[in-house]
């Protein structure tokens, strides 16, 4: 982990064209980001495309706030929770990318942002619908959810399908908001030997690692079920053993007959998002690989539609990453300025165009760089209708308890009823112990 020193390979200077912010600014601001970002220019090993490093953000913030120095710390996704916890315990940074905001706010480690918003009369209207509210959570002394972070990196879940395979099987494309029945019918129709290519095709895919529990939850939403309710650990009520969850699990067990072998270990879809793909439909898909698809010039081969929705038109796991301020930071004023800066179109366009990060701004649908990729519009739409919180329950042990039980049911080691009953009991016990 190191501070950004700029890059000797800079070729284009990005600037917001904003005037410097008046004030007597000084000090060093340390910002922690998670993922594959690079401090200097980098070449994508798959696409070969060149991405400008984080010096772009560093240079622009330091230009706007003359006298300030920004250092970035890049943290891998692996073990980011304990690593973040350790850094916060050591008061090592000011601003954190905080996908687990619920957990850290509950410990009293984050600065509440509403007073800063009120003092600046800072409008939140530029963010896409649902995002600010989706990240609201409870601090140790709160009775109602409050703002402890603001959106930074967007994310969404959707259903993606291969138009080419649909055409070869002469199956109608998926509707914009498909039902479970439609997806099941079409998945069954496209499993077997492709009538054109004579290659083996599989009708559907969902991974058996990490995200199966989240895919199951979305299937349940398509049946008008709900994950549960509550924010505080001792007040959360889970619906893991509900009739809707059982019906959803049975649906996934039925669909497992049309999934490539090895799915339970996250295998079998290695050709997804390539010209040689052999899977017709993928549920609970995210935008992480779309940049690779765009780089290959094959986005016309694929379509994106909404994931399963309930009767109110909402559904899917709420996800992404906001930014938060450590309550022990000695640079809170400067940290707040950076969080506002991070939602500026300059930063959001840079993150999208260079790193493929989904923007969190309502105006993004009008950007030329978004409109030239038809697949991005339904991705942004899906982000505004997600309802199931990845946090708190899905970032903690209940998610992994449910995951292990669901895997057991999918492999036939345990009945669906037993799997969900055990998941409910063990998860509830874990929550109460907190």
Extents of the domains making up the chain: 27-155+319-387, 158-315+396-433
Block residue for tokens 């350790």? 86
Most confident segment among 134-143, 179-188, 384-393: 179-188
- The arithmetic mean of pLDDT across residues 398-420, rounded, is 93
Within 13 A of 159's CA, how many CA atoms are on the CB side? 28
Reply yes or no on whether the pLDDT at 148 is more than 50. Answer: yes
Residue range 32-58: average pLDDT? 88
pLDDT grade for 9, boundaries at 50, 70 and 90: very low
Q: Which two tokens stand for residue 200?
A: 């083996």
Q: What is the rounded CA–CA span in Å between residue 192 and residue 203?
A: 8
What is the per-residue pLDDT for 398? Answer: 87
Q: What is the pLDDT of residues 71-127, one digit of tens each?
A: 999 999 988 989 999 999 999 999 999 998 988 998 999 999 999 999 999 999 999
CB 326 within 8 A of CB 73: no
What the block records as the tokens of 1 is: 């982990």
pLDDT at 251 over 80: yes
pLDDT bucket at 210, cuts 50 / 70 / 90 = low
Can you name the residues that pair with 229 across neighbouring β-strands?
237
Contact between 94 and 325 (Cβ < 8 Å): yes
pLDDT of residue 289: 81
| Residue 333 structure tokens | 């004023």
pLDDT at 16 over 70: yes
Q: What is the C-alpha to C-alpha distance for residues 329 and 201, in angstroms, rounded to an integer?
A: 54
Element (H, E) at 266: none
Lowest mean pLDDT among 135-139, 162-166, 258-262, 389-393: 389-393
Q: Is 180:308 a contact under the CB 8 Å cutoff?
A: yes
User: Which of the 8 DSSP states describes residue 174?
Assistant: P
Contact 310, 383 (CB under 8 A): no
Nearest residue to 96 (alpha-carbon basis) of 146, 30, 37, 147: 30
Which DSSP string do the residues of 185-211 spell out, in sequence order? Answer: HHHHHT-EE-TTT--EEEEEE--SSSS
Question: Is residue 321 a contact partner of residue 130, using CB atoms and an 8 Å limit?
Answer: no
pTM of the shown model? 0.89
**Residues contacting residue 406 through CB under 8 Å, at least 6 positions apart:** 212, 213, 216, 249, 252, 419, 423
Q: Give 10's pLDDT tier (boundaries 50, 70, 90).
A: very low
pLDDT over threshold 50, residue 312: yes
CATH of 27-155+319-387, one of 3.40.190.10, 3.30.300.30, 3.40.50.300, 3.40.640.10: 3.40.190.10
Q: What is the distance between the alpha carbons of residues 276 and 269, in angstroms, rounded to a whole number?
A: 11
Band of pLDDT at residue 402, cut at 50, 70 and 90: very high
| Averaged pLDDT for residues 194-205 | 97
pLDDT, tens digit (0-9, with 9 covering 90-100), for 348-366: 999 999 999 999 999 999 9
Percent helix, strand and coil across the chain, each rounded to 5? 40, 15, 45
Distance CA 104, CA 108 (A): 7
pLDDT for 347: 98
Q: Where residue 292 falls among pLDDT bands split at 50, 70, 90?
A: confident
**Domains 27-155+319-387 and 158-315+396-433 agree in fold:** yes
pLDDT tens-digit map of 257-289 = 999 988 877 788 899 999 999 999 999 998 988
DSSP state of 172: P
Residue 344: band (very low, low, confident or very high) from pLDDT cuts 50, 70, 90 = very high
Q: Which residue has the higher pLDDT, 228 or 193?
A: 193
Range 197-206 average pLDDT: 96
* Residue written as token pair 């980001």: 33
Per the listing, tokens 């409109």 go with 371
Contact 335, 161 (CB under 8 A): no
Q: Is the pLDDT of residue 1 over 70?
A: no
| Enclosing H/E stretch for 72 | strand 68-75
- Give the domain 158-315+396-433 fold: D-Maltodextrin-Binding Protein; domain 2 (3.40.190)
Q: What is the pLDDT of residue 6?
A: 39
Of the pLDDT bands very low, low, confident and very high (cuts 50, 70, 90), residue 49 is: confident
More reliable by pLDDT, 143 or 116: 116
Confidence grade of residue 209 (pLDDT, cut at 50, 70, 90): low
The DSSP secondary-structure symbol of 154 reads: B
At residue 249, does pLDDT exceed 60?
yes
């Amino acid at each position: 982990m190191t501070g950004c020193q700029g890059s000797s390979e800079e070729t284009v200077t990005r600037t917001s064209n904003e005037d410097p912010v008046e004030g007597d600014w000084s000090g060093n601001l340390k910002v922690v980001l998670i993922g594959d970002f690079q401090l200097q220019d980098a070449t994508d090993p798959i696409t070969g495309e060149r991405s400008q490093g984080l010096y772009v953000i560093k240079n622009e913030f330091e230009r706007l706030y003359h006298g300030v120095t920004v250092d970035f710390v890049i943290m891998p996704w692996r073990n980011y929770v304990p690593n973040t916890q350790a850094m916060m315990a050591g008061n090592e940074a000011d601003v954190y990318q905080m996908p687990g905001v619920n957990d850290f706010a509950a410990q009293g480690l984050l600065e509440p942002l509403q007073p800063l918003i009120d003092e600046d009369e800072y409008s939140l209207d530029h963010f896409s619908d649902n995002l600010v509210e989706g990240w609201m959570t409870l601090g140790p002394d709160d009775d109602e959810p409050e703002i402890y972070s603001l959106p930074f990196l967007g994310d969404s879940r959707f259903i993606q399908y291969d138009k080419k395979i649909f055409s070869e099987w002469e199956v109608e494309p998926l509707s914009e908001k498909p039902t479970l029945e439609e997806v099941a019918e079409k998945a069954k129709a496209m499993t077997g030997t492709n009538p054109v290519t004579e290659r083996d095709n599989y009708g559907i895919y969902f991974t058996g690692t990490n995200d199966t529990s989240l895919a199951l939850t979305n299937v349940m939403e398509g049946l008008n079920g709900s994950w549960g309710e509550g924010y505080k650990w001792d007040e959360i009520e889970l619906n893991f053993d509900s009739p809707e969850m059982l019906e959803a699990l049975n649906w996934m067990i039925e669909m497992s007959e049309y999934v490539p072998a090895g799915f339970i270990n996250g295998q079998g879809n290695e050709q997804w998002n390539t010209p040689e793909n052999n899977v017709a439909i993928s549920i609970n898909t995210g935008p992480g690989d779309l940049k690779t698809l765009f780089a290959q010039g094959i986005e016309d081969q694929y379509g994106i539609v909404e994931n399963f929705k309930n009767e109110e038109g909402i559904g899917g796991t709420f996800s992404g990453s906001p930014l938060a301020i450590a309550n022990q930071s000695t640079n809170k004023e400067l940290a707040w300025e950076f969080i506002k800066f991070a939602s500026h179109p300059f930063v959001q366009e840079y993150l999208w165009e260079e790193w493929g990060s989904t923007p969190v701004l309502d105006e993004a649908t009008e950007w030329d760089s978004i409109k030239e990729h038809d697949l991005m519009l339904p991705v942004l739409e899906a982000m505004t209708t997600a309802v199931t919180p990845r946090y708190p329950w899905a970032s903690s042990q209940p998610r992994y308890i449910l995951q292990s039980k669901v895997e057991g049911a999918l492999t036939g080691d345990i009945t669906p009823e037993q799997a969900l009953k055990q998941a409910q009991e063990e998860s509830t016990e874990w929550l109460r112990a907190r």
